[in-house]
Chain A
Amino acid sequence: MGNLLVNTRDQRFVLFEQVGIDKLFKIPKYSKFNLELVDMFLKEAEKFAVEVIAPTFKKSDHEDPAYFKDGKAHAPACFHPVYKKFVEGGWICPPAPEEAGGQDMPMSVFTACSELFGAANYSFFMYPGLNLGAAGLIGTFGTPEQIKKYALKMFAGEWAGTMCLTEPGAGSDVGALRTTAKRLPDGRFSITGTKCFISAGDHDLTKQIVHPVLARIEGDPAGTKGISIFIVPKYRVNEDGSLGESNDITTVNLEHKMGINGSATATLNFGENGKCIGELLGKEREGIKIMFKMMNEARLSTGMQGLDSASASYEHSVQYAKDRVQYRKIEDMPNQAAPGVAIINHPDIRRSLLWMKAHVEGMRALNYYIGYLIDLEPFVEDHEEKEKLEDTIGLLTPISKAYCSDKSVDICSLGMDIHGGYGYCQEYPMEQLLRDAKIATIYEGTNYIQSLDLVGRKLGRKGGMAVMGLMGQITETTEKAKGVEELKAGAEQMEAALQAVNDLVMQLGSWGMSGEFVLPVLNARSVLMILGDMIIGWQLIQAALIAQEKLQALLKKAGAEGSPDKVKALAGENDEVAFYLGKVASAQYFTVNILPTLKGRCEAIKLGDRTPVSMPDACFESR
C-alpha cells in the first residue's frame, strides 16, 4: 500500500525518466543538485506530508476550520505547529535564491514536493504557497530596501503574504477595480478600498501579513492600464524592522465556504480611517504586468491543486476497491452461491480506475514539464529559442490551470462513485476532496477566463507559432509510437486527433481574421479541453515509449517475453514490471478511448452553431 496521497514512484518516473531533470544540473545555478539529493527531498517531503500535514486534513475542514471572532481572524489551531515545523524544515521557500534564504530548488522539483503537501491538505499549503508567491514578487520587482524590509522576512517564514486583486465589483474584470492610491508628500501612498475573497488575507500564523494590493493612483486612466501595485503591510514597519502600529486594514469577515475550510478567505477594508499606507512596487501603472508574474505561478499552483486532489482521490479509490466486496465475478453472476469479490474485479470499476489513473499521470507529467520549462527559460541564451520557450509556457499555463482543475472535479466525483454511499459520507475523505477541489475551477481566474486567455491571446500569438510548435513535437512523439506494436493503435488515434485540432485551429484563425469573434469566444472552453486532452495524450505516449523499453528489458531478463501469463505473474511480484506495464496501459487506454472523441468535438465547433448567443434572453427565463 502506498501513502494514499501520491504515487511516489510515478513522481520519480516523471522527473528522472520522462522529463529528465538531470539536464538541469549542467546549469551553474542548479549544479549543486543531483538525483540522489532530489530523491532525498522527495522522501522528506513525503514524510512531512504524511506524518505532519495529512492529520490536519479532516480536522481543518470540520471541527477546527479557519474562523473569525471578535474582529480577529484565526487559522485552524492544528495548523500552528505544522506551520512552525514547515518553516523549520526550510519548506517555506525552497525555490528562492540562496542569498534570500532559499535553496535555488528547481521549480520542477518543488512542484513535485508540493504535490505531496497539497494532496495531504491543500488548505494548509495555501498559506506558505501565497507567501512564497508574494515574497517572490517583492524579491523580483522590489527595491533593495523593500527586499530587505519585506521579502527576506517573508522568505524566512516570519511574515506571510497574500495577493489582493479581487473586489466586490471587480472579479474576473480586474480592470474595474476601485481601490485608490493617493500620493503622500513622502512618496508613499494612502490606500483606500475593499478587497474580497483574499486567501490567507488575515490569520494568526505569523505576526505580520504583507499584502501586494492592486489599486489605481488618483488621476490614472480607467481599465487595466491604469493599475499600479503596492506593498501594504498589516502593521507598519519601523526603521529598525520591528513592527509598529496597525496600518488601518480591517478584516470585515471570513467567508463560509464549500471547501478549503482551513484557508482563511477574508474581506479586507483598506484605509477606513484614511491611515493605510502603501509603498509602490515597481513602476506606476505596471501593476498588472507585475502581478502577472505571481498570477502565472499561482495558475500553475492551481493546476497542481487539481492534480493534488485527483491524485489523493485515485489512491484512496484503488485501496477501497481492493477491500470492498460486492457481487460475484461477472462470469459467476448466474450462480448465487459463488463467493463475492472485491469490486476491483468488476470491469466498470477497473475502467473508472484506469480513467482516473491515466488522467492523474498525464496531469502530473504536464505540470512537472511546465516546471522544467520554467527552470530552463532564464538560461536559454538564443533570443529566438527563449521566446519560443516563453510562448510555450504561456500556452500551457492556462491549459494546466483549467484542464487540471476541471478534470480534478470529475476524478474526485468518480472516486466518490467508486466508494458508493460511503463516499458521500464523512467517514471517508472523498466528499471533502471533491469539495476542496472545486474552488480550483473558479479562483485564479475562472476556467472560462483561462479559456479566453488561450483562445484570445495565446493561440493566435505570432500566427499560432506556439501551438504549431507544440503539435510538431507531438507529431514527432507519435511517429515514434507508431513503430511500437503496443502503442500503434493509440498513435493512429493521435494522428487523427492532430489533424482535427490543426483544422480547428485554422478555422478559429480564419474566424478571428474575418472579425467573427463570437464563435471562438463561445467555444473557448471546449477548445481548451480539446487541447488539454491532446497534450495529456502526448505526455502519456511519451511516458509509455520510455516505459515500454524498460519493460521489455525487464521481461527479457525474467524470460517472460511474449507470454501474457508469465507477464501477469511477474507483475504480481515485481513492482517495477507492474509500474511500467501500468504506464503503458495508461497510454493505451487514454489514446484509444479518449483521443477518438477529439475529432467529433472539433467538428462540432466547426459547424459554427450560435444558438446560445442568438437565442433571445427571454427564452432563458422561467416566467
Chain B
Amino acid sequence: MKIGVLMKQVPDTETKIRIKDDASGIVVDGIKWVMNPYDEYAVEEALRIKEKKAGSTVTIISMGPKRSVETIRTGLAMGADSGILIDDPALEGADCYATAKALAKVMEPENFDLILCGKQAIDDDSAQVPQMVAEFLGMPQAMVIDKLVVSDDGKKATCYRRIEGGAKEVLEVDLPAIVAAEKGLNEPRYASLPGIMKAKSKPFKEINLGALGLKAEEVGAKGAKLKVKKYFLPAEKAPGKIIPGEPEDAARALVKMLREEAKVV
C-alpha cells in the first residue's frame, strides 16, 4: 500500500505563547517545535499498516516553513520512507482552505491508497483541513477515528469512532480514503537512534509554488477565505471560590450564589 501522512509542525504544548505587538500573529522566536500530537498517531498507524503489508511505503507531507524539515525527519526516524515539504513565501497566511488546496495538489499525482492525518492541529485547532483535502481529492473521509482496520485486499477500511453516550460509530470506506486520527488510535513509537541515523539518507524533497503548479493568488493569504483580524490572549480567569462548611449549608450557599451573583438559576 502507498500511504501518505499529513503532518504539521506546531509549538510544543508547554510553550509560553506571546502575541506580536501588532496582534497579527504569535512571536515564533524561541518556540520549541514538535510534531502535532494527533499527527503522531497518524504516522504510527501508517507504520503499523506498513509493517503488516509487505511492500508498503509511507510518505510524510507537510506544508510549512523550512524548519518543518526537522519534524519530517522525526517521522522518517520513526520509520517513514520519504518526505515532502511544501515551502514557499506565497503560502504564508493560508487558512484551512488554502492549505488544503496546496496539500491536495501535491498529493494528487502520488496516488496514495490511504491518507492519514491528525483530527486537528493543536495550534489553530481548526479541524477542517482533512475534510477539505478529501473534498479536493474527491475521496471518502473518516474523521476522529480511534480504531482502524484495513481489509486484507487493501480495498476497504473499517473505521471506529466514539460518539455521544459512550457508543461507537463504525464506518466502512472504500480506499483510497482519508482518515483522521483521534487520541487512543495507538501509542506512537519513539524515534530510535538507528532510525535517526537512517533518516539522514531517506528521500526528501522540497516543493515550491512553481513546482506545485499553483498560482500565488490561489494559495496563502491571497487564496484564503478567512482573514484573521487579530490575535489576543484569553482574559485571565478569576480564581475559583471554595465554599466551606457542612454539605447542606454549602449547597444552600451555592444555590444562593448561583441565583444572586451568577444569576443563572
Contacts and interface: CB of A to CB of B under 8 A. Distances in A.
A527 B92 CA distance: 61
Interface in B172-186: none
B200 A103 contact: no
B30 A90 contact: no
B72 to A, nearest CB: 12
B29 A90 contact: no
Interface in A35-63: 36-37, 39-41, 43-44, 47-48, 52
B247 interface: no
Interface stretch (A454-462, A469-477, A504-512, A571-579): A571-579
A88 interface: yes
A40 B77 contact: yes
Nearest to B200: A37
Contacts of B73: 40
Contacts of A37: 196-197, 200
B30 A574 contact: yes
A91 interface: yes
Contact of B190 (A36, A39, A85, A103): A85
Contacts of A573: 18, 27
A43 B197 CA distance: 14
Nearest to B196: A40
Nearest to A8: B32
A440 B168 CA distance: 54
A556 interface: no
A1 B27 CA distance: 17
A175 interface: no
A10 to B, nearest CB: 14
Contacts of B120: none
Nearest to A40: B196
A43 B9 CA distance: 15
A91 B193 contact: yes
Interface string B14-30: 10001000000001011
A404 B196 CA distance: 32
Query: Which residue, of B14, B29, B30, B77, has the highest number of chain A Cβ atoms within 10 A?
Result: B30
A88 B189 CA distance: 10
B193 A90 contact: yes
Given A40-B70, A44-B196, A576-B30, A89 B18 contact: no
B11 interface: no
Contact of A89 (B14, B74, B192, B197): B192
A37 B18 CA distance: 29
Contacts of A103: 193-194, 197
Interface residues of B, number: 19
A44 B191 contact: yes
A429 interface: no
B264 to A, nearest CB: 32
B140 interface: no
Contacts of A88: 189-190, 192
Interface residues of A, number: 24
Contacts of B93: none
Interface in B142-159: none
A91 B192 CA distance: 8
Interface in A566-623: 573-576
Given A37-B200, A103-B197, A576-B30, A90 B14 contact: no
A207 interface: no
B197 A94 contact: no
A41 B196 contact: yes
A94 B29 contact: no
Contact of A32 (B189, B190, B193, B197): B197
Contacts of A1: 14
Contacts of B27: 573
A574 B29 CA distance: 8
A164 to B, nearest CB: 29
Nearest to B73: A40
Interface in B1-46: 14, 18, 27, 29-30
Given A40-B73, A41-B196, A90-B195, A47 B190 contact: yes
A574 B197 CA distance: 33
Given A44-B191, A47-B190, A89-B190, A575 B196 contact: no
B200 A44 contact: no
Given A37-B196, A37-B200, A576-B30, A44 B18 contact: no
Contacts of A43: 74
Contact of A94 (B189, B190, B193, B195): B193
Contacts of B196: 37, 40-41, 44
Contacts of B18: 573
A385 B25 CA distance: 55
A85 B192 CA distance: 9
Interface string A79-119: 00000010011110010000000010100000000000000
A89 B193 contact: yes
Query: Which residue, of B29, B73, B190, has the highest number of chain A Cβ atoms within 10 A?
Result: B190
A438 to B, nearest CB: 31
A315 to B, nearest CB: 13
Interface string B198-226: 00100000000000000000000000000
B200 to A, nearest CB: 7
A48 B77 contact: no
Nearest to B18: A573
Nearest to A576: B30
Contacts of B200: 32, 37
Nearest to A2: B14
B44 to A, nearest CB: 14
Contacts of A36: 70
Given A40-B73, A40-B74, A575-B30, A48 B190 contact: yes
A48 B193 CA distance: 12
Nearest to B33: A43
A319 to B, nearest CB: 12
A68 to B, nearest CB: 32
A39 B192 CA distance: 14
A296 B77 CA distance: 33
Interface of B: 14, 18, 27, 29-30, 70, 73-74, 77, 189-197, 200
Given A88-B192, A574-B30, A576-B30, 13 more contacts: A1-B14, A36-B70, A37-B196, A40-B70, A44-B191, A48-B190, A85-B190, A88-B190, A90-B192, A90-B193, A90-B195, A575-B29, A575-B30
19 contacts: A32-B197, A37-B196, A37-B200, A40-B70, A40-B73, A40-B74, A40-B191, A41-B193, A41-B196, A44-B193, A44-B196, A89-B191, A89-B193, A90-B192, A90-B195, A94-B193, A103-B194, A574-B30, A576-B30
Sort A-B residue pairs by CB-CB distance and give the 6 closest, nearest first: A90-B193, A575-B30, A90-B192, A89-B192, A90-B194, A44-B191
